[in-house]
Amino acid sequence: MEIGRPYSRLLYRLERSGTLSPQDRRRVAELPLTVTNIAAHQEIAHQGDAPSRCTLVLGGFLFSHKLASGSRRQITSFIVPGDIADLHTLHLSSLDHSLSALGPAVVAFLPHAELKEMLDISPQLSQAFWRETFIEAAICREWLTNLGRREAIARVAHVLCELAVRLQAVDLARNLAFLIPWTQTDLADACGISSVHANRVVQELRRMGLVDWDARQVKIRDWDGLARLGDFSDHYLQLRTARTAIKDSAPLEVKVPESV
């Protein structure tokens, strides 16, 4: 987990929309940070907290979640390396969700004060970070559609497609296969279904030959089939360049690499 260059993934993301000036890159790279190991299932921040720093994921996965009716958990996002998990704490007084680690993770904490100062100085950086916020919101809207208007198997397929694309964009998936330390219950809580049903859906996806799924390893065997089933199109992720990097052309007519 290249701790030596903790900002590389973040910078890579910020530059998706356009190049940053060398100066701006330096500003980001020189932000003070505290690298911390997080244990599996550890809660980093709790709903209602008012943290004074943001959390950049360097390795592993975090997720944000909320409770409904006191006991029912809804996962509101998966946060992958290169993402800032709680940028909104910069301007909102209290956190509207909790933040936890899916498995063991490595994060860097960035103090609000320095972050704010940096953003005040550079409108370009401010824009780049703001843009990340917008993408996050677009993902949230897509999830909303997923929960509101697709049935269980399509929801799961959609989430898998999204993760594959997002992870591939940060080099954490190759050949549409990736490792993620979740349980079927986590998946269920992201998809708004019960864990029992999540299990049945996973089995059905296996049976249909769409995915291999052993423990924490997910491999998409039939991208077209899964994307069709999950009604997935990656436009909302705004990864123009990243997508070409992944598979060099037409979005949904992608061929699955034969190898692996």
In the complex, which residues of this chain contact DNA (CB under 7 A)? 151-153, 183-185, 192-197, 199-200, 202-203, 215
Torsion of CA 164, 170, 172, 178, to 10 degrees: -10
CB closer to a second copy out of 157 and 172: 157
CB-nearer residue toward DNA: 200 or 247: 200
Closest by CA position to 132, among listed 170, 165, 94, 83:
83
* 46 lies in the binding site for a second copy (CB under 8 A): no
Of the candidates 112, 67, 124, 65, the residue with the CA atom closest to the CA atom of residue 87: 112
Exactly one of 17, 175, 183, 185 binds a second copy (CB under 8 A); that residue is: 17
Cβ contacts of residue 60 below 8 Å, gap of 6+? 1, 38, 81, 101, 102, 103, 104, 105, 106, 181
Q: How far is the CB of 260 from a second copy (least distance, A)?
A: 27
The window from 37-45, 131-139, 165-173, 204-212 that contacts a second copy (CB under 8 A) reads 131-139
Among 30, 43, 120, 171, binds a second copy (CB under 8 A): 120
d(CA 45, CA 241): 33
How far apart, in whole angstroms, are the C-alpha atoms of residue 251 and residue 237? 12
Structure tokens that stand for 37 in this block: 């190991």
Q: Which C-beta is closer to DNA: that of 155 or that of 166?
A: 155
Residues found near a second copy in the complex (CB under 8 A): 17, 48, 64, 66-70, 72-74, 76-77, 87-88, 91-94, 96-97, 119-120, 123, 126-127, 130-131, 133-138, 140-150, 154, 189, 191-192, 231, 235-236, 238, 240
